[in-house]
Structure 1
Amino acid sequence: MAEPLLEVRDLKVHFAARGKGRDASVKAVDGVSLTVGAGEVVGLVGESGSGKSTLGRAILRLIDPTHGSVRFEGTEVTTLSPNALKAMRSRMQIIFQDPYASLNPRMSVGQIIGEALYLHGIGSRQDRPQRIGDILEKVGLHRSAAARFPHEFSGGQRQRIGIARALAVNPRFILADEPVSALDVSIQAQIINLLQDLRKELGLSLLFIGHDLSVIEYLCDRVVVLYLGRVMEMGTAEELYRAPRHPYTRALLDAAPVIDPSKRRDRIALKGDLPSPVDPPSGCVFRTRCPFAVSECASRVPDLRSFSASHSVACIRADELQLRVEA
């Protein structure tokens, strides 16, 4: 089997908890392992506060992890020097959630994209305008957009500019951090289709963070379900959407709107709020909201067990629960 493009092993990101004592920490990410293959799109889902964005930023080393390994193209990212990390970032890029806040309002679109080319030494000063125009056309904008400023564009157009900036340095991997959540539904579809087309054309790998499960199902090959900084379930989109084995995955699917609610009976409804990452529940972190929890769940941290070559679940009752979603 070919080595994955990105391999994350037991990654932890803990922050000091202010006002909670000297030894208290926020366990934002607490031992996550995942892989992304060449040309693959992996979805990362979970409620707000589950650690998705923190995990993504730690993978890119926009924040430093507390523990664990991130290997990209066989190179350990967590120990790279500043110069080596800068070179690595030409191959690992990010698309941010807010398409306006992520663009400098005082710079033209051409300057925004050109800055990335300059920092990474791509092209000459003379040929960069041509390259910028080509990139803008690739994301569905006119070449003349290079002379305009971010405030002159709609939200969807600004996100296309953000995508163009990420593509400018010829990356192999892109972290898409909820790139459509701030957009209207009709514009969301256009951006998702653009990412799908670019993925196929350029052979890109993506780690796609999102809340909309229909978007995740459409775009992603595999899905990782995160809860309170830990992986609850991972598998192909087909496995997780048709036959989830973790109650949290099923609850997320049941919370998604459907045209015919009768197709999903005996829904699992999430009750209460996400527990504090400063003081997570003992044993299984999901047990305080799980309708199937038993006494053993409070004392035993469930291992991530494999049920197939691609499907793994962290639940001590995964063998016995019947959680299939009706088509």
Structure 2
Amino acid sequence: MAEALLKVTDLKVHFPIGKTLLSPGQTVRAVDGVSLEVRRGEVVGLVGESGSGKTTLGRSVLRLVEPTAGSVTFDGEELTGVPPQRMKALRSRMQIIFQDPYASLNPRMSVGQIIGEALLLHHIGTGKDRGQRVGDLLQQVGLPREAAARFPHEFSGGQRQRIGIARALAVNPDFIVADEPVSALDVSIQAQIINLIQDLRQALGLSLLFIGHDLSVIEFLCDRVVVLYLGKVMETATAADLYANPRHPYTRALLDAAPVPDPRVRRQRITLKGDLPSPIAPPSGCVFRTRCPFAIEDCARAIPPLETVGSDHSVACIRAAELNLTE
């Protein structure tokens, strides 16, 4: 088993809101005690409904959002509390691909300037070297070298995301957070970008935390999967094991919500009722219990720990041992 490149331990990201001189305000528990790891050369998928804390978690491990508590270790070095100059150096090894290919590129900069900005910021190469590197990166993501002289508005959404990927690769990172990089694209383009990420991952030996909604994409691309609900980990396992043997009702509900390409297939489904509870006032005990069809009184009394139920498979559910959630 490869060693962990990124290790997150009991990470919390809480946002105070409505605080005044006369009122203590409230706290949004966006991420509430998450632990996970990404091993070298591995792609870990992070899935869950909108509002579950996926993007906040992804940005907090890069310290684009400051954690409230917990630990983030990258290649053996603790990131929380690291001074800005050291964090700047570490960011050459940790990059992000943003969700929106339209909003994430500066419209006043040429493509060459956008990709080359990171090289300039980290003092990598001379002017000529940087131009060569930009051209090589554009070719690597499937765009012509001449694209460097053009501006973002001249490209389609899929092409802009390729530019965003080239920008993330510019400083030869070891680790990338891919924040739903295909959710804003047409279905026909999504497959091209996913295949590109897969090819780059294999060619460059990248480690990724891949945030997504589409479970078919997660299954294709990821080695392991972490299921997040209301800022907490519900289940984590290898992709093959999670899809074949889900142990948490929330995981089963997510899988059931995914379309099946064969219209002849009929299956029993777990359907989620109601909306995601507010992260300001999450339910007591198991945060999923208010929507869980298998919830019992004990589910409200204590937060279930993430317990091992198999090789590289853990679940946070007090009824996991008795429930049979496979089809």
- Report the TM-score, using the length of structure 1 for normalisation: 0.97
Letter in 2 for 1:315: C
Q: In the alignment, which of 285, 288, 300 is matched to residue 286 of structure 1?
A: 288
Matched, 1:28 2:36: no
**Contact 1:178–1:208, Cα closer than 8 Å, also in 2:** yes
What is aligned with 1:42?
44
What is aligned with 2:149?
147
Letter in 2 for 1:191: I
What is aligned with 1:245?
247
What is aligned with 1:318?
320
Q: Could you tell me how far 1:19 is from its partner in structure 2?
A: 6.6
Q: Could you tell me how far 1:3 is from its partner in structure 2?
A: 3.2
**Contact 2:247–2:324, Cα closer than 8 Å, also in 1:** yes
Identity %: 74
**Alpha-carbon distance in structure 1 between the residues aligned to 2:2 and 2:188:** 38
Q: Could you tell me how far 1:264 is from its partner in structure 2?
A: 5.2
Q: Could you tell me how far 1:17 is from its partner in structure 2?
A: 2.5
**Contact 1:5–1:73, Cα closer than 8 Å, also in 2:** yes
What is aligned with 2:77?
75
Q: Could you tell me how far 1:301 is from its partner in structure 2?
A: 1.0
**Alpha-carbon distance in structure 1 between the residues aligned to 2:205 and 2:18:** 43
Question: Unaligned 5+ residue runs, structure 2?
Answer: none
**Contact 2:53–2:230, Cα closer than 8 Å, also in 1:** yes
Letter in 2 for 1:202: L
Distance 1:264-1:322 versus aligned 2 partners, 3 A rule: farther
Letter in 2 for 1:53: T
**Contact 2:18–2:25, Cα closer than 8 Å, also in 1:** no
- What are the residue-to-residue correspondences of 1:1-327 with 2, within 5 Å? 2-18=2-18, 21-22=23-24, 24-260=26-262, 263=265, 265-325=267-327
SS in 2 for 1:312: strand
Q: Could you tell me how far 1:79 is from its partner in structure 2?
A: 1.6
Q: Could you tell me how far 1:309 is from its partner in structure 2?
A: 2.6
Which deviations, in whole Å up to 9, do the C-alpha atoms of 1:259-295 show, x marking residues without a partner? 2366452200000000000000000000000000000
Compute the RMSD of aligned alpha carbons: 1.2
**Alpha-carbon distance in structure 1 between the residues aligned to 2:24 and 2:263:** 49
SS in 1 for 2:4: coil
Question: Unaligned 5+ residue runs, structure 1?
Answer: none
**Alpha-carbon distance in structure 2 between the residues aligned to 1:126 and 1:301:** 57
Which deviations, in whole Å up to 9, do the C-alpha atoms of 1:286-327 show, x marking residues without a partner? 0000000000001021110101231000000000001013xx
**Alpha-carbon distance in structure 1 between the residues aligned to 2:195 and 2:223:** 15
**Alpha-carbon distance in structure 2 between the residues aligned to 1:129 and 1:307:** 52
**Alpha-carbon distance in structure 2 between the residues aligned to 1:77 and 1:236:** 26
- Report the TM-score, using the length of structure 2 for normalisation: 0.97
**Contact 1:254–1:264, Cα closer than 8 Å, also in 2:** no
Letter in 2 for 1:221: D
**Alpha-carbon distance in structure 1 between the residues aligned to 2:153 and 2:173:** 27
Letter in 2 for 1:133: G
**Contact 2:19–2:25, Cα closer than 8 Å, also in 1:** no
**Contact 2:97–2:181, Cα closer than 8 Å, also in 1:** yes
SS in 1 for 2:113: helix
**Alpha-carbon distance in structure 1 between the residues aligned to 2:136 and 2:206:** 18
Letter in 2 for 1:65: P
**Alpha-carbon distance in structure 2 between the residues aligned to 1:141 and 1:86:** 29
